[in-house]
């Protein structure tokens, strides 16, 4: 695996003609890479210190609209600038783009250079800092599930996203023959990301036609979110370059399995897994039990950060490996939280609630905030659920609509204490805007159902 670039090595590559472009990017509320393409000479001269962007980019939606109701950014405030401050530790090649490197930025106030609290990368940094006061460091890994479609994006858009055909025709879960037919997308994706310094472990077929999963080795929480964001972007870009379309929409058809993005997590202390205690049940330490109890107690508060759109909630269907309940279990995929690596030093928690459309910084920040609250309040962990948890009426439900999740978000004392009122109000506005936009649209389903019969 190629290590991330140093500034000096970028200078050398530029002098030799190996790199001529630098993508200076930040991750927006929707988890997308936004930014500018710099000629490498300008980046080396000045842009490596800072550049600027419009502040609406952290107060927009998937359509790049300018909704009202945000305190931080509006027509009244004049839509000023933010500072994009490159984090040079993230500087890396993007081998799938000729002569190109990339760096991720933090977002700062244009006037005093203070971090913007509702910037996703900053939100995760804040929760990592809270844990560092306890001499704890979060280690995380995310799974990226997505579908590959036969036609390219531009054609699908022109056709109104109708008659969609996945590249694979049948369930390809762990299927070597079927995934061989997708290797012209997946092999360059794995290899290019690995060459970019992202520790790719493997890809595999997932439990639906045309569905792939990409797995990246665990890392510290911030690096994990960085890796996830770059990998998601690369999957779309490489599929496009191969004449196909990749989508991270969680549920593209009601009768097909959806796409998730499970999050694995543990806390480390002095280089060792602080979740591990050979004397504890399943080798779970008291710290782990309190942390997991916090995750379960506050899962409804955090659900918006796992499932931020109307479509996100179409994935939560019984019998599809997507959870509908907040219980924990021992290696049971019907639960919202699964204990993995039980009775080993690798004991950890897998949160199975997030969909493929999650912003990893926001999801991880919310998970850490809930877990920290569990540790601080020494919450007791209920016994593990067993059997088919879909049918266990004693287990609380995950919020099943965006509207319900928004109510939990805006009323969450825990998240307001952990992230600040302004941050939660900001994302409450994002959630409500998404709902408002959907509520005003007449859907194809309504027309087909009622045009003649109503």
Please tell me the class of the 129-445 domain. Answer: alpha beta
pLDDT, average across residues 343-351: 95
Q: Give yes or no for residue 213 having a pLDDT over 70.
A: yes
In CATH terms, are 7-116 and 129-445 the same topology?
no
CB 128 within 8 A of CB 367: no
pLDDT of amino acid 105: 98
pLDDT of amino acid 375: 98
Q: Give yes or no for residue 2 having a pLDDT over 80.
A: no
Question: Which percentage of the chain shows pLDDT scores above 90?
Answer: 90
pTM equals 0.96
Query: Considering the chain, what is the average pLDDT of its residues?
Result: 95
pLDDT of amino acid 391: 87
Please tell me the class of the 7-116 domain. Answer: alpha beta
Q: Which two tokens stand for residue 239?
A: 């599929």
Q: What is the pLDDT of residues 358-381, one digit of tens each?
A: 999 999 999 999 999 999 999 999
Give the residue, 35 or 396, on which the prediction is more confident. Answer: 35
Q: What is the pLDDT of residues 255-270, one digit of tens each?
A: 999 999 999 999 999 9
**CA-CA distance, 107 to 178, in Å (whole number)?**
42
pLDDT, average across residues 237-255: 96
Where are the domains positioned within the chain? 7-116, 129-445
Q: What is the pLDDT of residues 63-116, one digit of tens each?
A: 999 999 999 998 989 899 999 999 999 999 999 999 999 999 999 999 999 999
Q: Give yes or no for residue 24 having a pLDDT over 80.
A: yes
pLDDT of amino acid 397: 92
pLDDT tier at 321 (50, 70, 90 boundaries)?
A: confident
């Amino acid at each position: 695996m190629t290590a991330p670039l140093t500034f000096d090595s970028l200078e050398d590559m530029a002098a030799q003609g190996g790199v001529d472009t630098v993508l200076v990017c930040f991750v927006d509320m929707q988890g997308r890479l936004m930014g500018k393409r710099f000629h490498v000479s300008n980046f080396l001269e000045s842009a490596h210190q800072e550049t600027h962007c419009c502040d609406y980019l952290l107060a927009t939606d998937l359509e790049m609209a300018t909704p009202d109701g945000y305190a931080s950014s509006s027509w009244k405030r004049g839509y000023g600038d933010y500072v994009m401050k490159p984090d040079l530790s993230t500087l890396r090649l993007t081998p799938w783009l000729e002569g190109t490197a990339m760096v991720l930025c933090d977002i700062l106030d244009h006037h005093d250079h203070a971090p913007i609290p509702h910037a996703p990368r900053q939100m995760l940094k804040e929760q990592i800092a809270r844990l560092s006061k306890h001499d704890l460091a979060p280690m995380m890994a995310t799974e990226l599930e997505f579908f590959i479609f036969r036609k390219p994006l531009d054609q699908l858009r022109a056709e109104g996203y109708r008659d969609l055909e996945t590249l694979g025709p049948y369930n390809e879960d762990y299927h070597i023959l079927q995934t061989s037919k997708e290797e012209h997308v997946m092999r360059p994706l794995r290899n290019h990301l690995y060459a970019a310094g992202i520790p790719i472990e493997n890809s595999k077929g997932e439990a639906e036609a045309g569905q792939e999963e990409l797995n990246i080795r665990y890392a510290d929480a911030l690096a994990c979110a960085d890796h996830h964001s770059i990998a998601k972007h690369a999957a779309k870009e490489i599929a496009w370059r191969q004449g196909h379309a990749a989508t991270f929409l969680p549920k593209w058809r009601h009768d097909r399995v959806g796409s998730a993005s499970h999050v694995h997590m543990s806390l480390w202390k002095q280089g060792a897994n602080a979740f591990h205690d050979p004397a504890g049940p399943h080798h779970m330490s008291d710290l782990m039990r309190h942390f997991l109890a916090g995750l379960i107690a506050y899962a409804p508060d955090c659900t918006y950060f796992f499932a931020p759109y109307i479509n996100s909630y179409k994935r939560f269907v019984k019998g599809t490996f997507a959870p509908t309940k907040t219980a924990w279990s021992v290696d049971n995929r019907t639960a919202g939280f699964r204990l993995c690596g039980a009775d080993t030093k690798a004991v950890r928690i897998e949160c199975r609630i997030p969909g493929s459309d999650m912003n990893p910084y926001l999801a991880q920040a919310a998970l850490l905030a809930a877990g920290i609250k569990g540790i601080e309040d020494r919450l007791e962990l209920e016994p593990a659920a067993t059997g088919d948890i879909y049918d266990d009426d004693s287990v609380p439900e995950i919020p099943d609509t965006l509207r319900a999740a928004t109510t939990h978000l805006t009323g969450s004392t825990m998240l307001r204490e952990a992230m600040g009122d302004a941050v939660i109000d900001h994302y409450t506005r994002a959630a409500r805007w998404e709902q408002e936009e959907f509520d005003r649209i007449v859907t194809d389903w309504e027309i087909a159902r009622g045009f003649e019969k109503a």
